[in-house]
Amino acid sequence: MKYIIFNWKSYLNLKETISLSKIISNLPSSKKFKLVSSPNNFFNLAIKSRFPKNTLATQNIDFHGSGANTGSMNINHLIENKIKYSILGHSEVRSNFGDSDTIVKIKLDLCLSHNIIPIVCVGETKDVYKSKKTKIFLKSQINKIFDKSTSYNEVILAYEPLWSIGTGLTPKIDEIEEISSYLSKILKNYSFKKINILYGGSVNLTNISDILNLRNVNGVLVGSASTKSDFIKYFK
């Protein structure tokens, strides 16, 4: 079973979000794919009440709980609305809202204590990639986010090279496999009930089957291509 996460970012309005969610809800259930959609946070409730069987993720949460926290995305509201997943540390959240690995770690711990499955995003810049320091960079990022003495429940780790997101560029297919296998090796130093490694960054209808065929890649996190109905229908 491979995870397919649709990250709709802020691309779609409510009508478009409903239309894609309807296509998802009409797909025959599949043993091959686990589809999770991540509408703009404002639309999660509308989509959940209209399509209760669709699995949803928020695009972020914050670590302020219930109470006097204006503007907060309270994790308790995810539970209340039966949303099981949250993306954490996406590169756009890191650059737009300043989330650091330390903040991602706090959010990760919060997800675990609230039984929300986190989709933790990591990835290197173009400079790091070019200077062949991707593995060192990812190892240090993982070290900052995960704790060796914690027993984690299910966690999804999305490897998303920053230079690949929204650019049409991707690492070579064997590089994706090499990095995923490296990640799977270093994650053995931590304790997880379940860990899945996904690739994200310019996934589309042309490259998806090669990526999904990789042994160490347990799925994909897809942005702009996932806003097209043809892409969603691929998973029938």
Residues in contact with ligand PGA by CB under 6 A are: 7, 160, 165-166, 200-203, 221-225
Write down the least CB distance from residue 56 to ligand PGA, Å: 16
Per the annotation, the verdict on 160 as an active-site residue is yes
Distance between CA atoms of residues 108 and 145, nearest Å? 8
Residue closer to ligand PGA (CB basis): 7 or 58: 7
Residue nearest to ligand PGA (CB): 223
**Which one of 16, 64, 80, 90 is the catalytic residue?**
90
- From the CB of 231, what's the least distance to ligand PGA, in Å? 10
Cβ at position 174, least distance to ligand PGA in Å: 20
Q: Residue 37 or 190: which CB sits closer to ligand PGA? A: 37
* Closer Cβ to ligand PGA, 91 or 190, answer by number: 91
Q: Is there a catalytic annotation at residue 90?
A: yes
Active-site residue (options: 92, 124, 160, 177): 160
Is residue 6 within 8 Å of residue 35, measured between CB atoms? yes
Give pairs for 130-139: CB < 8 Å, separation 24+: 134/161, 134/179, 135/179, 135/182, 138/179, 138/182, 138/183, 138/186, 139/186
DSSP code per residue over 117-161? EEEEEE---HHHHHTT-HHHHHHHHHHHH--TT-EEEEEEEEE--
Please identify, using beta-carbon distances, which residue of 138 and 221 lies nearer to ligand PGA: 221
Minimum separation from the CB atom of position 10 to ligand PGA (A): 12
| Residue in 88, 112, 113, 114 with CA at minimum distance from that of residue 99 | 88
Residues acting as catalytic residues: 90, 160
